[in-house]
Structure 1
Amino acid sequence: MGGGGDDAGKPVAAMVVVQVVFAGVNIVYKLAVSDGMDMRVLVAYRYLFASAFLAPLAYFIERRNRTKLTWRVVVLSFICGLTGGSLAQNLYISGLKLTSATFATATTNLIPAVTFLLALIFRYERLAIRTFSGQAKLAGTFLGVAGAMLLTLYKGADITPWHSRSRHHAAEAEAEATNRAMGSLLCISSCFIYALWLILQAKLSKEYPFHYSSTAIMCVMSTLQSVALALCYDSRDVARWRLGLDVRLLSVVYSGVLASGVMLVVLSWCVKRRGPLFASVFNPLMLLVVAVLSSLLLGERLHLGSALGAVLIVMGLYAVLWGKGRETNKVADEDAKVVVGDLLPTTADHQQQPE
């Protein structure tokens, strides 16, 4: 009995660790950018380290079952690397630089609602507007959009529960409204690009159902794209690529090996054990951790507009997830009834039974 309880609690504990580590990515990103590290170089190194970690892992785990790569899979991997990696991350870090770690993290909770909208467009989802679950998903989408607009347009009073001081505080306090609006646009654009990746990733998983190998290939593609993007935008100076024993090395190792490497494996295990809906429910935990850490370590201020916007986005997230979960359960119940109906003997079967 005790062992069963421990097994049931392992996915919960694992998802808490995943969200804490993902929250740390936002902190080290902000620290590296504040230290003067080129954003595009940071993204390129992240996927380089992730590729170096995942490629051997994929080789040893899936070498016996993996099928040969086709050009279709390579092209899909390239597009997934662009949408889920290089482009999405460059937009996100650019937005984070202009706003704050808490603000950027809050916008990521838009991803389920944006994914739902894109899934409707590409006909991966249907909107049953007359059902309660369909109305919940639609309402959740509108709540998420309203929260994003509130985050962007309204700052409000300083509601930081403690008064921390750091060298980052002055820069944050002097941030202009123009930068905040541009940063909001970049963060929200990153959410749209990432949501598009989720749609494409579903297609890639059907074409090439080898999780470790497809992820490693995607990271390699993201590395090549990120390096090319960095070289095209004035990052040809060797000094910008030099890593020492400082926060820059910490940021690329942490985000590449720990977040994109180790935590990806842990996240995959949780999804396999409890499903994607279970994993999604823990997303708002990252926002809470980032809000606390960014205020303590970076001296960022929490404002009323950010808090209210984050609350609306999280409410929208749970509405979409609840609606989706209700629909999934309904489909499962209907499938179970069909299976039971097929197994039950019919009247004709009874008539054929010998007396």
Structure 2
Amino acid sequence: MEIFVLSLLGVSVTLNMYFASLKYTNPTFVASMINTIASLTFIIAVALRFEVLDLRNPRGIAKVIGTIISLAGVLIMTLYKGPVMRNLWHPLIHIPGKSAAINEDWLKGSILTVSSCVTWSLWYIMQASTLKRYPAQLSLTTWMSFVGAAQSAAFTVIVEHNSSAWTIGLNVDLWSTIYGGVVVAGLIIYIQLWCTEKKGPVFVTVFNPLSTILVAILAYFVFGEKLYLGSIIGAIIVIIGLYFLLWGKEGDQEVYMKTKDKSQCSTVDPECRI
């Protein structure tokens, strides 16, 4: 049952909302919004006592300030679209039949993106809990991938009645599917599980800003995606907040390492406790 819920939160429900949000917004906006996962994970982790929060300590205050700043950046990105940035040159890759003006619905896309971020945050928290009892990351990744694929297939049968949607040609669709299955659903999830066990769920999510930078560069310069001023301002604010949060988390790691060293010292040599 636990693996079923993990697959639901980490693969089927979350990724379907994530891909649907791309249809209504653009990759840069979605990648920027994903940065809020760290703040949402922190809030949920504190509520469930997975995360330590000491407001008497400057690092504890930094965690709260970072979370507030990040959420403020999200509000700006959601509520303020702003003028579109001018393309500096023609895109290197043109996708036939794609128009940036088609299917854009910023509010609907924002709701889907935020919802996927919330479920992803819950997934990270649940990972930390599951790995304490089931520390086999590779086995857990395999089970989540298989169960998530079955859930997604069942969902597609219910909502997609066009048989052509199941057809994958020898084009970018095939390579996207292979990349998504092998790299995203396989290798990346395994690495995330390993990092979650070693460092905790909040630490893993604070590196999401790197994906925002890479996506913005590729989407804007390679595919010619529209880039809005509101997304740029909001993304910068979110990243600033995240690194406040990261600085606060660094203190937790120092305390953890000191506690671990003392525990190992007392086990090996009782005299070092003096």
TM-score of the two chains, using structure 1 as the length reference: 0.68
Residue 82 of structure 1 corresponds to which residue in structure 2? 8
Instruction: Mark the CA change 1:237 to 1:113 in structure 2 (over 3 Å): closer, same or farther.
Output: same
Deviation at 1:312, TM superposition (A): 1.0
1:329 aligned to 246, 254, 274, which one? Answer: 254
Deviation at 1:340, TM superposition (A): 6.3
Residue 164 of structure 2 corresponds to which residue in structure 1? 239
Matched, 1:104 2:30: yes
Matched, 1:251 2:196: no
Residue 140 of structure 1 corresponds to which residue in structure 2? 66
Instruction: Mark the CA change 1:338 to 1:296 in structure 2 (over 3 Å): closer, same or farther.
Output: closer
- Provide the rounded CA distance (Å) in 2 between the counterparts of 1:331 and 1:295: 41
Residue 99 of structure 2 corresponds to which residue in structure 1? 171
Instruction: Mark the CA change 1:265 to 1:334 in structure 2 (over 3 Å): closer, same or farther.
Output: closer
AA aligned to 1:343 is E
TM-score of the two chains, using structure 2 as the length reference: 0.86
- Provide the rounded CA distance (Å) in 1 between the counterparts of 2:118 and 2:3: 18
1:218 aligned to 138, 144, 151, which one? Answer: 144
Deviation at 1:137, TM superposition (A): 0.8
Residue 223 of structure 2 corresponds to which residue in structure 1? 298
Q: Is the Cα contact below 8 Å between 1:294 and 1:300 reproduced in 2?
A: yes
Deviation at 1:267, TM superposition (A): 5.7
Residue 54 of structure 2 corresponds to which residue in structure 1? 128
Aligned residues: 268
- Provide the rounded CA distance (Å) in 2 between the counterparts of 1:210 and 1:266: 12
- Provide the rounded CA distance (Å) in 2 between the counterparts of 1:210 and 1:337: 27
Task: Write out per-residue CA displacement over residues 251-297 of structure 1, whole angstroms, 9 at most, x where no aligned residue.
Answer: 1111111332244456667x49x856876554222111111111133
Task: Write out per-residue CA displacement over residues 194-241 of structure 1, whole angstroms, 9 at most, x where no aligned residue.
Answer: 0001111112212222111111111111111111111111x2443221
- Provide the rounded CA distance (Å) in 1 between the counterparts of 2:76 and 2:257: 37
Q: Is the Cα contact below 8 Å between 2:203 and 2:249 reproduced in 1?
A: no
Matched, 1:343 2:264: no
- Provide the rounded CA distance (Å) in 2 between the counterparts of 1:303 and 1:328: 37
Instruction: Mark the CA change 1:242 to 1:96 in structure 2 (over 3 Å): closer, same or farther.
Output: same
Instruction: State the identity %.
Output: 34
Unpaired runs of 5+ in structure 1? Answer: 1-74, 347-355
Question: Alpha carbon RMSD of aligned pairs, Å?
Answer: 2.8
- Provide the rounded CA distance (Å) in 1 between the counterparts of 2:124 and 2:204: 14
Q: Is the Cα contact below 8 Å between 2:6 and 2:144 reproduced in 1?
A: yes
AA aligned to 2:213 is L
Larger radius of gyration: 1
